[in-house]
Amino acid sequence: MPFSLQHKTALVTGGASGIGLAISRLFAQQGATVHILELNHEQAIRQADAINRELDKAGADRAYGGKAIAHPIDIANQPEVISLLQKIAADGAIDILVNNAGIAHIGNAENTLEADFDRIVSVNIKGTYNCIHAVVPLMKKNNGGVILNMASVAATVGIPDRFAYSMSKGAVLTMTLSVARDFIKEGIRCNCISPARVHTPFVDGFLKKNYPGQEADMFAKLAATQPIGRMAEPEEIAHLALYLCSDEAAFITGCDYPIDGGFIRLNN
């Protein structure tokens, strides 16, 4: 099977909603044992159960893997992250880490509050660092692995009122390069994906909260900012993630992959 993840163990932070859920589902379909690391434990359990039911319905051969397991975790808490990853690794090698969890913020350098700035740093930067910090020693013991980080087009293109968010994703991008360089001899590959706007529940919630009664019009305006004329679907991001985490991408490390409908290069 092309892009098979059979017999592999994958961790997906924020893996119970949006892009993370699409990645969790696809990786499990491709044979991985997927550990969903999620702050909202009830949602993680619900989605893991749904993935496992889908696999059973499809007649998946569980002998090769192909299942989802939910774990409650605050990725901003380093001792908690280290403890959970060591527990998972006790049952076998961790092959893949997808650092997908992240939060958004709207504001510029003048009106961004310190509390909001600290919250962005805690989740988007420290949370990503915590997971990398915890998984690298475990991957080194098993002669390698794959780390995939979720950056954003906001890391390389100026976007209005995204000061703290852009800063955090820029950090994720440069962390990717550093990790790829530092651990290439240990067989650890590290890349990142930079999506433009993706149609997730977050987008729908944002529009409902800030533009009640105008959701359809505002959705169309946001979609139109992508040169391709629409937002991405979470599954499209998941398929790129699958390739980069598969053995077919064994020659790729230290790269950022925009998946943006032409946003970076064509939006002039």
Q: Residues 129, 165, 211, 243: which is the catalytic one? A: 165
Helices (H), the chain: 18-29, 41-57, 78-89, 114-120, 128-141, 163-182, 201-210, 215-224, 234-245, 263-266
CA distance 205 to 211: 10
Question: Would you give the DSSP letter of residue 96?
Answer: E
What is the domain-level CATH number for residue 104? 3.40.50.720
CA 227 to chain centre: 24
Q: Do 67 and 174 lie in a common domain?
A: yes
Q: Do 101 and 223 lie in a common domain?
A: no
How would you write the pLDDT of the chain (268 residues) with one tens digit per residue?
889 999 999 999 999 999 999 999 999 999 999 999 999 999 999 999 999 999 999 886 666 669 999 999 999 999 999 999 999 999 999 999 999 999 999 999 999 999 999 999 999 999 999 999 999 999 999 999 999 999 999 999 999 999 999 999 999 999 999 999 999 999 999 999 999 999 998 889 888 988 999 999 999 999 998 999 999 999 999 999 999 999 999 999 999 999 999 999 997 6
For the stretch 141-154, pLDDT in tens is 999 999 999 999 99
Residue written as token pair 């509390």 = 115
Residue 33 domain flag: yes
Q: Do 172 and 76 lie in a common domain?
A: yes
Residue 241 domain flag: yes
CA 83 to chain centre: 21
What secondary structure does DSSP assign to 186-227, as a single string? GTEEEEEEEE--B--HHHHHHHHHHSTT-HHHHHHHHHHTST
What pLDDT is recorded for position 19?
Answer: 98
How many domains does one find in the chain?
2
What pLDDT is recorded for position 60?
Answer: 67
Q: Do 190 and 208 lie in a common domain?
A: no
Q: Do 124 and 203 lie in a common domain?
A: no
For the stretch 212-260, pLDDT in tens is 999 999 999 999 989 999 999 999 999 999 999 999 999 999 999 999 9
Q: Can 257 be counted among the known catalytic residues?
A: no
* Cα-based distances in Å from 159 to 44, 75, 131: 31, 27, 27
* Residue range of the domain that includes 173: 9-196+234-266
Q: Does an H or E element contain 256, and which?
A: strand 256-259
Provide the 10 A C-beta neighbour count for residue 90.
8
